[in-house]
């Protein structure tokens, strides 16, 4: 799936059931929130590809402010339904062409998105632009390579359903992708999930 309009249609179609689908990974997400909160403490944060806002809603209490965006209007509509923090704002944006001033954010979160877009390099470039000097990118991503039989079957079924998997990384190859584009990894850990979740924090080298 290479067409952006098709991808937007896919995610918009599943906006209403997204939270239910993600419940299978509740444990790994809770651990991820624990890792993120100290990093965003008292910081201005941008979350890209926020979907229904699960991450932003669970870390906003620690942050100074959180701007969360997604390219699916339906996902953002779902996110706004139970948004109760004045520090959290949702909007529809394209992560490869952001409207924010350069150096606007202390931390950018891009979770489970780089493996499903055609041009993650362009996204990383835009993230670098909007990060303040010394800013941190948090980029947890499901890493599908080197899975067992159950994982391969699950991935195959998701592909048949139209899931837009563009890049099949292992934890090692994903880290290599990040560093090859000029980022220095400061933290890396693999969390157990339906697909192993490789959590990375990094700074622009």
CATH code for residues 4-204: 3.40.50.150
CA distance 78 to 123: 24
Q: Where are the domains of the chain?
A: 4-204
Mean pLDDT per 10-residue interval, the chain, length 205 residues: 59 59 76 98 98 96 98 94 94 97 98 90 98 98 65 49 63 96 97 88 92
For residue 11 the two structure tokens come to 């995610």
Q: Long-range contacts for 189-194 (Cβ within 8 Å, ≥24 apart)?
A: 189/35, 190/143, 191/28, 191/31, 191/32, 191/140, 192/27, 192/28, 193/25, 193/27, 193/28, 193/142, 194/24, 194/25, 194/151, 194/154
**pLDDT score recorded for residue 149:** 44
Nearest one of 48, 163, 47 to 96, comparing CA atoms: 48
Tell me what pLDDT residue 118 has: 85
In whole angstroms, give the CA distance from residue 93 to residue 184: 27
> For the chain, what is the total number of helices (H) and then of strands (E)?
8, 8
In this prediction, residue 167 carries a pLDDT of: 63
pLDDT for res 160 = 42
């Amino acid at each position: 799936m290479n067409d952006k309009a098709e991808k937007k249609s896919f995610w918009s179609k599943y906006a209403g059931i997204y939270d239910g689908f993600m419940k299978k990974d509740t444990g790994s997400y809770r651990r991820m929130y624990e890792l993120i909160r100290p990093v965003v403490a008292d910081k201005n944060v941008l979350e890209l590809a926020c979907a229904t806002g699960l991450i932003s809603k669970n870390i906003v209490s620690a942050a100074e402010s959180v701007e969360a965006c997604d390219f699916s209007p339906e996902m953002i509509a779902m996110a706004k339904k139970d948004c109760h923090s004045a520090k959290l704002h949702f909007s529809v944006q394209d992560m490869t062409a952001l409207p924010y001033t350069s150096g606007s954010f202390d931390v950018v979160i891009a979770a489970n998105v780089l493996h499903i877009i055609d041009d993650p390099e362009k996204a990383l470039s835009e993230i670098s632009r909007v990060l303040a000097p010394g800013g941190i990118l948090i980029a947890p991503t499901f890493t599908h390579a080197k899975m067992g039989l159950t994982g391969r079957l699950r991935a195959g079924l998701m592909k048949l359903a139209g899931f837009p998997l563009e890049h099949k990384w292992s934890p090692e190859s994903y880290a290599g992708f990040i560093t090859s584009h000029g980022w220095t990894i400061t933290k890396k850990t693999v969390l157990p999930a339906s697909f192993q979740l490789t959590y990375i924090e990094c700074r622009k080298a």
